């Protein structure tokens, strides 16, 4: 396979990749071909500029998937603005933090969501557009032509949870996103004949890449908000989908569902993100989707995607996360920066042009994660030290060993224990809280809340409070009440002891 072009361009030039009359985007608003996509991007970009926004201003979108959320990444890029996609499942506290932290100057959302915010939740100089105001943007009479911005300029902030503290904005440049799109389109073998069903949220790095990699290949995209596996199956059948990305809980639902032969046979490639798929699930996927190749992948928002396993190796190396994707250099390193020998455990380090620019206005946490590349790196410069332990075999394949940080990965979402703990304590029912991830066959990890406070009689009130304050994927599956919380020698809550007791 020919090596992809390593020269990045401004992100909005992706609209120029497909044939003008080829379908690019299919939503409830109709079908946009590539000529229509280019026109709509130009119109939306000009409308945003007409709002008085200046180069580098942040524009947030808090909406379900549709025409607006699909076009916003490229329209902002064309206008020289920075897009801040907000997961539509987030609630007021998380959204208010993202708006304040990013310093958003413009917010596009819907009335029902906006009604949940207080006047103080958005920055004072942030203009808000609801459904009516959003649609008016597409009626603008001017268009901006393809941009001439530096590919190194900031294009997006993707907010991701950390193991401590509130979500942090990962700074992605035009080059990061362009090369990520080209890389994935290349190793998946996407072509203009492909149709991608975009089920992952556009606020996720790979969710957004569903759009960008498809457009880099001149393919078409069908965004979908789904409630059940049946919704996905119907969309695959209706649109003759060839490409589908999912997270492990969705794949479990899909392989348990009944598929019409026409739908299952239309799929040509399946990709997994957000956690490891058990070998039993992969085997069942092969049975349900006999015409599809299965791509198992590993990635982190700070460097987009690091590795993928060639589908031809899935049966012989089912536990491997594969090799580096195009434009990525992936290494296993000791803490002192020397590379590990084959078979040795070490930290996964990612170098190269997919590495993000750091965390928005957070030099301290940036310095913890973005550090000089290990000795012997061919790219050198600043690399992402993932915090994940891996090993590499003699054939160059990587294997995930363990996650060093405390992040919980549930239903394909990264959840900060601190956020859930803070919400529980703010309820008034809890004095001390520790949130842990415990293995779960369907979710990857389930969330367990260990608490000292009002006790089991307050379960219902606490759960009701958390449902109001946190999105569904942050809800504890288990609540364990204790009279006392164990402490470590330094006086901190002893998380390791609690987890051992919980798993006993």
What pLDDT digit, counting tens, does each position of 442-474 carry? 899 999 999 999 999 999 999 999 999 999 999
Does any domain span residue 243? no
Give CA angle at 233 (228, 234), nearest 5°: 100
Task: Report the candidate in 323, 344, 318 with the shortest Cα–Cα distance to residue 332.
Answer: 344
Stretch among 2-6, 201-205, 281-285 having the lowest mean pLDDT: 2-6
**Helix ranges (DSSP H) in 200-333:** 205-216, 229-239, 248-256, 261-266, 279-288
Q: Residue 154: beta bridge partners?
A: 173
Largest CA distance in the chain: 68
The confidence score (pLDDT) of residue 493 equals: 81
Average pLDDT over residues 395-406: 83
Q: d(Cα 388, Cα 400) in Å, to the nearest integer?
A: 8
Q: β-strands 478-481, 444-453: how paired?
A: parallel
Instruction: Give whole-number Cα distances, 221 to 27, 159, 208, in Å.
Output: 9, 24, 11
The confidence score (pLDDT) of residue 166 equals: 79
Q: d(Cα 269, Cα 255) in Å, to the nearest integer?
A: 15
Residues in contact with 214: Cβ distance below 8 Å, sequence separation at least 6, in sequence order: 185, 190, 194, 196, 198, 220, 221, 243
Cβ atoms within 10 A of the Cβ of 499, count?
A: 17
3-state helix, strand, coil in the chain (%, to 5): 35, 30, 40
Q: Which of 149, 179, 200 is the last residue of a domain?
A: 149
The confidence score (pLDDT) of residue 504 equals: 77
Which residue shows structure tokens 């942030």? 126
Q: d(Cα 279, Cα 290) in Å, to the nearest integer?
A: 16
For 335-349, the three-class secondary structure string (H helix, E strand, C coil) is CCCCECCCCCEEEEE
Does any domain span residue 42? yes
Which CATH number does the domain housing residue 421 bear?
A: 3.30.300.30
The confidence score (pLDDT) of residue 326 equals: 97
The secondary structure element, H or E, covering residue 365 is helix 363-369
Does any domain span residue 375? no
Does any domain span residue 370? no
The confidence score (pLDDT) of residue 349 equals: 98
Task: Please give the backbone phi and psi of residue 157, each rounded to the nearest 5 degrees, phi first.
Answer: -120, 115
342-368 exposure pattern, b = at least 16 Cβ within 10 A, e = fewer? eeeebbbbbbbbbbbbbbbebeeebee
Stretch among 251-265, 268-282, 294-308, 432-446 having the lowest mean pLDDT: 268-282
For 78-121, the three-class secondary structure string (H helix, E strand, C coil) is HCCCEEEECCCCCCHHHHHHHHHHHCCCEEEECHHHHCCCCHHH
Which CATH number does the domain housing residue 72 bear?
A: 3.40.50.980
Which residue shows structure tokens 């809800």? 475
Task: Please give the backbone phi and psi of residue 316, each rounded to the nearest 5 degrees, phi first.
Answer: -85, -25
Give CA angle at 318 (248, 356), nearest 5°: 60
pLDDT tens column, 297-332: 999 999 989 999 999 999 999 889 999 999 999 999
Q: d(Cα 165, Cα 413) in Å, to the nearest integer?
A: 16
The secondary structure element, H or E, covering residue 128 is strand 127-129
Average pLDDT over residues 327-339: 96
Average pLDDT over residues 349-374: 97
The confidence score (pLDDT) of residue 276 equals: 76
Higher pLDDT, 23 or 388: 23
Q: β-strands 82-85, 58-62: how paired?
A: parallel
Which residue shows structure tokens 């389109």? 185
Q: How many domains does the chain have?
A: 2
Q: Which of 87, 114, 149 is the last residue of a domain?
A: 149
Task: Report the candidate in 162, 177, 191, 237 with the shortest Cα–Cα distance to residue 407.
Answer: 162
Does any domain span residue 113? yes
At 220, list the tokens: 């078409």
Give this prediction's pTM: 0.88
Q: Which domain holds residue 127?
A: 31-149
The confidence score (pLDDT) of residue 65 equals: 95
Three-state secondary structure call for residue 59:
strand
Q: DSSP class of residue 303?
A: G
Hey, what's the torsion of the CAs at 332, 338, 340, 345, to 10 degrees?
-70
The secondary structure element, H or E, covering residue 500 is helix 495-503
Helix axes 34-49, 67-78, angle to 10 degrees: 70
Does any domain span residue 91? yes
**Is the predicted pLDDT of residue 489 greater than 60, yes or no?**
no
Q: Which of 118, 149, 180 is the last residue of a domain?
A: 149
Strand ranges, E, within 343-495? 345-351, 370-372, 382-392, 398-403, 408-410, 413-415, 430-440, 444-453, 478-481
Does any domain span residue 20? no
**Is the predicted pLDDT of residue 162 greater than 90, yes or no?**
no
The confidence score (pLDDT) of residue 404 equals: 65
Does any domain span residue 354? no
């Amino acid at each position: 396979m020919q090596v992809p072009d390593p020269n990045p361009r401004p992100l909005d030039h992706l609209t120029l990749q497909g044939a003008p009359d080829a379908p690019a985007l299919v939503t409830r608003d109709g079908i946009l071909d590539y000529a229509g996509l280019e026109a709509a991007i130009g119109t939306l970009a000009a409308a945003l500029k007409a709002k008085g926004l200046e180069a580098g201003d942040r524009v947030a979108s808090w909406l379900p998937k549709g025409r607006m959320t699909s076009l916003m990444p490229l329209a902002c890029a064309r206008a020289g603005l920075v897009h801040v996609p907000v997961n539509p499942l987030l609630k007021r506290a998380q959204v208010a933090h993202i708006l304040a932290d990013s310093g958003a100057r413009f917010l596009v959302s819907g009335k029902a969501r906006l009604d949940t915010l207080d006047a103080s939740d958005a920055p004072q100089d942030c203009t808000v557009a609801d459904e009516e105001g959003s649609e008016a943007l597409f009626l603008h009479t001017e268009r901006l032509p393809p941009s001439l911005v530096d590919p190194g300029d900031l294009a997006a902030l993707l907010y991701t949870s950390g193991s401590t503290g509130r979500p942090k904005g990962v700074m992605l440049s035009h080059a990061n996103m362009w090369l990520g799109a080209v890389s994935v389109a290349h190793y998946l073998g996407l072509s203009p004949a492909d149709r991608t069903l975009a089920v992952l949220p556009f606020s996720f790095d790979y969710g957004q890449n569903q759009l960008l990699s498809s457009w880099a290949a001149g393919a078409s995209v069908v965004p979908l908000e789904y409630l059940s596996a049946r919704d996905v199956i119907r969309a695959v059948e209706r649109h003759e989908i060839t490409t589908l990305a999912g997270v492990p809980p969705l794949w479990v639902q899909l392989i348990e569902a009944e598929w019409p032969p026409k739908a299952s046979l239309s799929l040509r490639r399946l990709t997994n993100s957000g956690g490891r798929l058990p070998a039993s699930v992969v085997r069942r996927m092969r049975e349900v989707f006999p015409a599809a190749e299965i791509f198992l992948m590993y990635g982190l928002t700070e460097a987009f995607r690091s590795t993928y396993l060639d589908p031809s190796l899935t049966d012989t190396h089912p536990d491997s996360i594969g090799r580096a994707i195009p434009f990525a250099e992936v290494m296993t390193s000791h803490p002192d920066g020397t590379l590990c020998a084959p078979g040795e455990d070490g930290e996964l380090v990612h170098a190269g042009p997919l590495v993000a620019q750091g965390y928005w206005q957070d030099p301290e946490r940036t310095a913890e994660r973005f550090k000089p590349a290990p000795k012997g790196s061919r790219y050198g410069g600043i690399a992402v030290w993932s915090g994940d332990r891996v090993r590499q075999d003699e054939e160059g394949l990587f294997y995930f060993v363990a996650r060093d940080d405390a992040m919980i990965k549930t239903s394909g979402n990264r959840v900060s224990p601190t956020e859930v703990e803070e919400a529980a304590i703010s309820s008034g029912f809890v004095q001390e809280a520790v949130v842990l991830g415990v293995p779960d066959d369907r979710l990857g990890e389930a969330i367990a809340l260990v608490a000292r406070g009002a006790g089991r009689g307050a379960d219902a009130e606490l759960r009701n409070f958390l449902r109001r304050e946190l999105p569904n994927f942050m809800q504890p599956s288990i609540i364990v009440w204790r009279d006392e919380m164990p402490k470590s020698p330094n006086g901190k809550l002893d998380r390791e002891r609690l987890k051992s007791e919980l798993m006993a």
